[in-house]
Amino acid sequence: MKDKRIGFVGLGRMGGNMARCLHGKGYNVAAVFDIDGKVATGLAAEIGATAYTKLADLTTNADIILTVVTNDEAMDAIFFGGDNLLTGAEGRLFINCATLTPSVHQKLDEAARKVGAQCLEACMASSIPQARNGELFLMIGGKEALFESTKPLLDDMSNALHYVGSAGKASQVKALVNMVMNCNTAALAEGLGIGDALGLDLGMLCKVFSQTGANSRVLETDSEDMIQRDHDCYFSAEHAAKDSGIALALAAAQGINAPLAQATFDQYTKLTSMGKGGLDKSGIAELTFQGRS
Amino acid sequence: MKDKRIGFVGLGRMGGNMARCLHGKGYNVAAVFDIDGKVATGLAAEIGATAYTKLADLTTNADIILTVVTNDEAMDAIFFGGDNLLTGAEGRLFINCATLTPSVHQKLDEAARKVGAQCLEACMASSIPQARNGELFLMIGGKEALFESTKPLLDDMSNALHYVGSAGKASQVKALVNMVMNCNTAALAEGLGIGDALGLDLGMLCKVFSQTGANSRVLETDSEDMIQRDHDCYFSAEHAAKDSGIALALAAAQGINAPLAQATFDQYTKLTSMGKGGLDKSGIAELTFQGRS
């Protein structure tokens, strides 16, 4: 698919590095857009693309368009705003990588079909280095045949590609992944915060956690950062609140009570309301260690 | 230490199998007691021990006494009740394996010292097969010199021995281990329950969890049981409620807000109040899957 013109919309920590990755692998990353024009011109200069200030112009000048925006509202704006990506989009393929409310993907899928375009959801469960190195964990939703025909490109972005079902299903899986991850993170922050207050050796405590039923991926990735207060952002507290909120809405729609997800959402929302939403998700430890907040 | 007479008080799933294990390794497991006399005579017959119906008699006939009882109340009863283990306990070593409120260990430590006996806490973070096979994860609290001199015996019960500090410290660590484990379990039950309601393939969902930030030890040990409703008890919901409650009390004493631990405690307490406290901790999924409760 290296003969296709690739477009990127949303050039933040993830999108920008995915564009760099595909460029480095010989793809024709031709067109870029970001709500911050300077970010777009900077990346365009770096990888030899053209930065557009109108979304419709980007659509004109790209065959496959990856969108990597922040949330439902941003997604709505780029596809349904006055200037939007669906204008003149016949024949285009959109690969949408943001974690969204699943129904947004379903709505978009229909709108794209009406103008002769196609969509895939490509939900990511990875972070910046994986974006840069083409090692994303990707969950794909949409038509299976379209997934198959797009596989060469997706494979170049990913080292773990999962087709999970029709449009919206990948977002559902992604929301549940992040919901469980966020709960485990919030629980770990409580365990370490209490241990710290009791005067326990936190290195010993982490070692014991790692060898017992308390072990988890977030213990590996976040415990040291919680202890050191190193909250440089890989996955922000604000995003954690958003994704837990999406999962809670899915639960509510099914009549399921999810008190752990709720407590986690409340903690991340609290952190965000304290102006600390830009901290990494490990920043939740700021709420559970004595004397930190 | 195979010349010493070993006593066991509390012959449930854990204690009974620890007694079998030491007997199998050539220790002189001479004296056993259980609140259910039949359990005691049954095990005594199996391993050639004597079953006592009075705790003071057990103390008379053992040098090292392992206690593996259920909770603070049971611990109080065997050490401070009318008939108790401290009667004539001079020179005895008590190794206390129950997960208790840490202050109970401190109180016991002093009481034992007054009658010329010694105590170690040996908190376990393992389950029945590990008890049977001498592969317990053990966290030891008490005097370090006493730990060192008791090591040969402890090593025969354990494949992961951690000395964590003075009396009460092991219980603190244990409570935090179980608190975090219980939170992760409750969060997993929500993720799987919501996924099930959404019609997702739960095998796929577990695979995705395992490869992402949602991975955890309890995903390995409990997800299949949650899906299959196989709640045969290894670690009961009732115990989960108890241990989360101990951790919550530690947090409260330090002025730390622990909403995840609280939500988990509430879920396990709810399950227990529904008469399902005897289910394994995976039974918490009965609260989060549609149509189960």
Residue whose structure tokens are 């049977």: B132
What is the predicted ipTM? 0.87
- Looking at residue B125, its pLDDT comes to 82
Judge whether A251 and A258 are in contact, CB under 8 Å. Answer: yes
pLDDT tens for A219-276 read: 999 999 999 999 998 889 999 999 999 999 999 999 999 999 999 999 999 999 999 9
Q: Are A97 and A122 in contact (CB under 8 A)?
A: yes
Q: For B94, what's the count of Cα atoms within 13 Å in the CB-facing half-sphere? A: 35
A35-60 mean pLDDT: 98
**Residue A105: its pLDDT value, please?**
87
Rounded distance, CA B92 to CA B58, Å? 11
| pLDDT (tens digit per residue) in B220-272 | 999 999 999 999 988 899 999 999 999 999 999 999 999 999 999 999 999 99
Per-residue pLDDT tens over the stretch B110-144? 999 999 999 999 999 888 999 999 999 999 999 99
Model confidence at A100, in pLDDT bands (50, 70, 90)? confident
The pTM score is: 0.87
B47 contacts chain A (CB < 8 A) = no
The Cα A276–Cα A191 span in angstroms is 21
DSSP state of B48: T
The CATH number of the domain covering residues in B172-287? 1.10.1040.10
Q: What does the mean pLDDT of chain B come to?
A: 96
Give one word for A91, left, alpha or beta, with left for phi > 0 and alpha for psi -120 to 50: left
- Asked if B247's CB is within 8 angstroms of A198's CB, the reply is no
* Residue A64 in this model has a pLDDT that exceeds 80: yes
Are the C-beta atoms of residues B168 and B142 closer than 8 Å to each other?
no
Q: What is the pLDDT of residue B234?
A: 84
* Region B267-282 average pLDDT: 97
Q: For residue A150, which amino acid is it?
A: T
Residue A32 — φ and ψ, nearest 5°?
-135, 150
Write out residues 259-288 of B within 8 Å (CB-CB) of A: 259-264, 266-267, 287-288
Residue ranges in A134-168 assigned as alpha helix (H): 144-157
Give A198's contacts (C-beta < 8 A, 6+ positions apart).
Answer: B172, B250, B254
Q: Nearest Cβ partner of A176 from B205, B250, B257?
A: B205
Cβ within 8 Å, pair A164-B261: no
> Does position A66 have pLDDT exceeding 80, yes or no?
yes
- On the 0-12 / 13-18 / 19+ scale of CB atoms within 10 A, A75 is buried
Query: What architecture is domain B5-167?
Result: 3-Layer(aba) Sandwich (3.40)
Return the higher-pLDDT residue of B167 and A34. A34
B162 contact A CB<8A: yes
CB distance A54 to A82 below 8 Å: no
Residue intervals of chain B classified under CATH 3.40.50.720 are 5-167
Contacts of B221 in chain A (CB under 8 A): 213
Chain A residues closer than 8 Å to B170 by CB? none
Question: Quick check: A125 pLDDT over 90?
Answer: no
pLDDT at B279: 97
Per residue in B69-101, pLDDT (tens digit) is 988 899 999 999 999 999 999 999 999 998 788
Smallest CA-to-CA distance from A43 within A59, A55, A30 is with A30
Band (A61; pLDDT cuts 50, 70, 90): very high
Q: Round to whole Å and give the CA distance between A279 and A236.
A: 6
CA dist B277 and B282 (Å) reads 11
Q: What is the pLDDT of residue B53?
A: 97
pLDDT score of B271: 98
pLDDT of B182 reads: 98
3-state helix, strand, coil in chain B (%, to 5): 55, 15, 30
* CB-CB neighbours of B135 under 10 Å: 14
Q: Decide if B250 touches A, using CB distance below 8 A.
A: yes
The per-residue DSSP string of A100-136 comes to --HHHHHHHHHHHHHTT-EEEEEEE---HHHHHHT-E
Angle between helices B102-114 and B169-197 (to 10 degrees): 150
Nearest CA of chain B to the CA of A7: how many Å?
28
The proportion of chain B whose per-residue pLDDT surpasses 70, expressed as a percent, equals: 100
- Chain B residue nearest residue A179, CA to CA: B191
Average pLDDT score over residue span B6-34: 97
End-to-end CA gap in chain A: 51
- As a whole number, the mean pLDDT across chain A is 96
In chain B, CATH 1.10.1040.10 covers 172-287
The partner residue sitting opposite B169, judged by closest CB among A180, A200, A215, is A200
Pairing of strands A50-51, A118-124: unpaired
